[in-house]
């Protein structure tokens, strides 16, 4: 073990969110205490069970106290709010989280804590590498939702996590603090996984068992709603796939169309195989270019924010991009594009006046010129936005430290 504890202080805190869980909470606290006893025997670890109560009215607090747990009242409603409040009050350097519905066996958190003691920063349980008991998970979650979302996670974030929705987890307190988690609802669990992957946290995984929910009432989880929240979170924290990749595709498309149209000014229709590309395609190309410009600015802002908030470790390419970014460079680029577009459109207007206001055949050029004007304005304003996101810094590379 690289990080032996046993200091006599509280080393491990098992934290459970609770909202009217009287049916199952007593058993969960008992099993959690057994897990702490095991850690104490094996590693001289001192532990505690913390119940983050979200306003229960069924006597859950008294049940928890009777089982030897510490109850923390969290007024702000929500799964994430309860866990954040519980973690804030917990005293352990290792934090374990799990539901209070008997779906997880907290004794299986023992190898998770041992992974943290061995150097891992975050440990996920994997129900797919462990066991899913009959009736514990609906078929659509088991064979569609979880595999698909976990697969998207591995694709976007290049992480080996096999079960991104497992609720039994352990994390080092210093790692948890560094991630700066803020979600209030079920998306808290997604935020923890995604920011850990972005920050290149050392993530371990151990098999766990999922048992049927021990409550007689319906669970708080809504598979469709919370699944979509997880999907949205994955994209919100991944600027490359949400903003920058679409920007590159749209810009390439727009430039290609404009190149064909402007490169063949006398052709009424540019042929690309069976496809005819005419003046109306210039409107499509302009729209693509403008959306690409907006997406590129938004993607850069997301990168800067992620680095500033320390939940994102930029790649070497992203570091170079941010390091070269400053308000002055964006303003120079924006003003240059704006000026080129203005001069171009002015020359078209001047030629039209010189012709005695004859019929004008310059739709392609005029659309291209005004596209440059719009993108130039976006670029200049984008520079100010990036400076604000960077903490009111003129040089955006300041967030790199």
| Residues 138, 223 contacting (CB under 8 angstroms) | yes
CA–CA gap between residue 67 and residue 125 (Å, rounded): 25
Strand partners, 53: 18, 73
More confident: 380 or 237: 380
The tokens for 69 are 């747990």
Question: With 70 as the cut, is the pLDDT of residue 216 above it?
Answer: no
Q: Which domains does the chain have, with CATH numbers?
A: 12-236 (3.90.550.10), 239-400 (no CATH)
Question: Which residues, 6 or more positions from 49, have their beta carbon under 8 angstroms from its beta carbon?
Answer: 13, 14, 16, 29, 32, 33, 36, 64, 67, 68, 69, 70
The tokens for 36 are 């702490």
Tell me, what's the pLDDT at 105? 96
Tell me, what's the pLDDT at 107? 97
| Residues 290, 298 contacting (CB under 8 angstroms) | no
Q: What is the mean pLDDT of the chain?
A: 90
Query: What's the DSSP call for residue 138?
Result: -
The CB-based long-range contact list for 391-399 (8 Å cut-off, 24+ gap) reads: 391/308, 394/326, 394/327, 394/328, 395/325, 395/326, 395/327, 396/304, 396/322, 396/325, 396/326, 396/327, 397/322, 397/323, 397/324, 397/325, 397/326, 399/304, 399/307, 399/308, 399/322
Of 259-268, 340-349, 365-374, minimum mean pLDDT range: 259-268
Question: With 50 as the cut, is the pLDDT of residue 6 above it?
Answer: no
pTM: 0.74
CA–CA gap between residue 246 and residue 101 (Å, rounded): 42
CA–CA gap between residue 226 and residue 150 (Å, rounded): 14
The arithmetic mean of pLDDT across residues 352-359, rounded, is 83
CA–CA distance from 85 to each of 18, 59, 121, 228 (Å)? 12, 20, 21, 25
CA–CA gap between residue 136 and residue 101 (Å, rounded): 12
Question: Which residues, 6 or more positions from 184, have their beta carbon under 8 angstroms from its beta carbon?
Answer: 76, 77, 78, 79, 80, 81, 84
Question: With 70 as the cut, is the pLDDT of residue 363 above it?
Answer: yes
Beta strand pairing status for 94-97 and 70-73? Answer: unpaired
Question: Which position has the token pair 């202080």?
Answer: 9
> What's the angle, vertex CA 45, arms to CA 61 and CA 113, rounded to 5?
80
| Residues 177, 100 contacting (CB under 8 angstroms) | no
Please name which of 51, 6, 24 lies closest in space to residue 105, comparing C-alpha atoms: 24
| Residues 210, 103 contacting (CB under 8 angstroms) | yes
Which of 35-44, 205-214, 346-355 reaches the highest mean pLDDT? Answer: 35-44
Tell me, what's the pLDDT at 219? 59
Please name which of 320, 322, 330, 317 lies closest in space to residue 305, comparing C-alpha atoms: 322
Question: With 70 as the cut, is the pLDDT of residue 398 above it?
Answer: yes
Summary count for the chain: helices (H), strands (E): 15, 9
* DSSP line for 236-294: HT-HIIIIIHHHHHHHHHHHHHHHHHHH-TT-SSEEETTEEE-THHHHHHHHHHHHHHH
The tokens for 33 are 């205490």
pLDDT digits (tens, 9 = 90+) for 291-328: 999 999 999 999 999 899 888 888 889 999 999 999 99
The arithmetic mean of pLDDT across residues 276-293, rounded, is 93
Please name which of 86, 82, 107 lies closest in space to residue 29, comparing C-alpha atoms: 107
Question: With 60 as the cut, is the pLDDT of residue 245 above it?
Answer: yes
Question: With 90 as the cut, is the pLDDT of residue 129 above it?
Answer: yes
pLDDT digits (tens, 9 = 90+) for 41-91: 999 999 999 999 999 999 999 999 999 999 999 999 999 999 999 999 999
């Amino acid at each position: 073990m690289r990080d032996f504890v046993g200091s006599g202080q509280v080393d491990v805190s098992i934290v459970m969110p609770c909202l009217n869980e009287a049916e199952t909470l007593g058993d969960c606290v008992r099993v959690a205490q057994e897990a702490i006893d095991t850690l104490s025997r094996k590693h001289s670890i001192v532990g505690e069970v913390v119940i983050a109560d979200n306003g229960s009215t069924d006597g859950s607090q008294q049940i928890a106290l009777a089982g030897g747990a510490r109850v923390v009242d969290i007024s702000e409603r929500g799964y994430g709010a309860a866990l954040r409040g519980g973690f804030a009050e917990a005293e352990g350097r290792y934090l374990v989280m799990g539901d209070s519905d008997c779906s997880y066996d907290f004794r299986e958190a023992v190898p998770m804590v041992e992974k943290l003691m061995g150097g891992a920063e975050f440990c996920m349980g994997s129900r797919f590498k462990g066991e899913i008991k009959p009736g514990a998970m609906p078929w659509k979650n088991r064979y569609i939702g979880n595999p698909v979302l976990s697969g998207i996670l591995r694709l976007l974030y290049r992480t080996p996590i096999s079960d991104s929705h497992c609720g039994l987890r352990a994390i080092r307190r210093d790692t948890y603090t560094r991630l700066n988690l803020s979600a209030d609802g079920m998306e808290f669990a997604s935020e923890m996984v995604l920011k850990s992957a972005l920050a290149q946290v050392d993530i371990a995984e151990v098999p766990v068992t999922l048992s049927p929910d021990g409550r007689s009432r319906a669970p708080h989880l809504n598979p469709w709603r919370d699944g979509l929240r997880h999907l949205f979170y994955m994209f919100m924290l991944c600027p490359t796939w949400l903003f920058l990749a679409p920007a590159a595709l749209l810009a390439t498309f727009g430039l290609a169309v404009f190149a064909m149209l402007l490169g063949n000014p006398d052709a009424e229709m540019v042929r690309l195989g069976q496809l005819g590309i005419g003046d109306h395609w210039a409107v499509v190309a302009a729209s693509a270019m403008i959306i690409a410009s907006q997406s590129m600015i938004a993607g850069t802002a997301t990168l800067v924010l992620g680095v500033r908030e320390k939940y994102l470790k930029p790649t070497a390419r992203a570091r170079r991009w941010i390091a070269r970014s400053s308000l002055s460079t964006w303003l120079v680029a924006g003003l240059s594009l704006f000026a080129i577009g203005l001069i171009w459109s002015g020359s078209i207007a001047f030629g039209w006046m010189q012709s005695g206001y004859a019929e004008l055949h310059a739709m392609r050029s005029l659309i291209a010129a005004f596209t440059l004007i719009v993108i130039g304005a976006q670029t200049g304003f984008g520079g100010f936005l990036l400076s604000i996101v960077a903490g009111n810094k003129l040089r955006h590379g300041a967030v790199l430290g």
